[in-house]
Structure 1
């Protein structure tokens, strides 16, 4: 099979939900890049998301993760993109929560760290289950 046919057949194997997640991520990235609060901060916050997206796209046919993990990775990336656009301390929804509940600060950074920690834990669990001798459900 020539290379062109291989590329076409590999594109056909992309699940529609995965295409939707990638499209959503690209749209949020474009929004995030449009007039961010601080361009330098935005660049530093968004760079890992861009690198991670390229790694996931590159390895998609060789090491495909499950749809729930892709969904969580997209959610975590969107949270980072929103935080990068406004800077974490100025996200409007969390400013509203701060004012409504008389909180001392905007807690978007804690929310983002919690969600991304959860995302990374589940992603690494899936990778370890597939590449190591760990068995699902077995403890040490």
Structure 2
């Protein structure tokens, strides 16, 4: 019988429930998106990521904490891809709840949902990226905190290049919705800066918590996974 090794067991029940909720949420938002072409472009990378995590699950599995963070980021992305990032009606939602305009209160002249998701990319995914390096490359100390920041910035730049290429290839409304610059010539630079800021905050918080705890839970998780894999 084909069974998983002790270190490759399935995620906890809470993560499985969260994953099922995300799939239902993603499917519901995929029924009638604002722009089907842009939705397909936005979700092509999501499908690739989920497929990669699924097929690599026997060789490498993230901790439940990392999986929660990944699912939260993907949920934010699902909202952006449903409405297109430049048209997510968060200001209308806020006005319904409070009777006030969030954009007016903060002096914003554009839709900033895309900025939130780029910031969240660094803030939410720095921990899983760090966990990957601790497990695969066995980094310690400074490199365990620097590499997540470095990878966040490099993958953010790669994504901006993909956006540019897709916008050039498809053109028209699909290309503009996917690019989502909203007339800001520095849009790509600001997106990368926010992703880097999110990752920087995340690694500083991780370093602070590890210092207070006097141990590194992510390193301990990675060590247990490797030890169990060797014994299986």
TM-score strictly above 0.5: yes
Contact map agreement 2:11 2:64 (CA 8 A) in 1 = no
How many residue pairs get aligned? The number is 132
Structure 2 residue 35 is matched with structure 1 residue 38: yes
Aligned mates of 2:134, 2:91 — CA distance in 1: 36
Structure 2 residue 23 is matched with structure 1 residue 26: yes
Structure 2 residue 118 is matched with structure 1 residue 129: no
Counterpart selection for 1:117 from 98, 122, 134: 122
Aligned mates of 2:67, 2:11 — CA distance in 1: 13
Counterpart selection for 1:53 from 50, 53, 70: 50
Larger Rg: 2
The residue number in structure 2 matching 1:86 is: 83
CA distance change for structure 1 residues 21 and 13 in 2, over 3 Å: closer, same or farther? same
The residue number in structure 2 matching 1:139 is: 142
SS at match of 1:63: coil
Give the root-mean-square deviation of aligned CA atoms: 2.2
Kindly state the Cα deviation for residue 102 of structure 1 after the two structures are TM-superposed: 4.8
Q: What's the TM-score once normalised by structure 1's chain length?
A: 0.82
Aligned mates of 1:41, 1:64 — CA distance in 2: 31
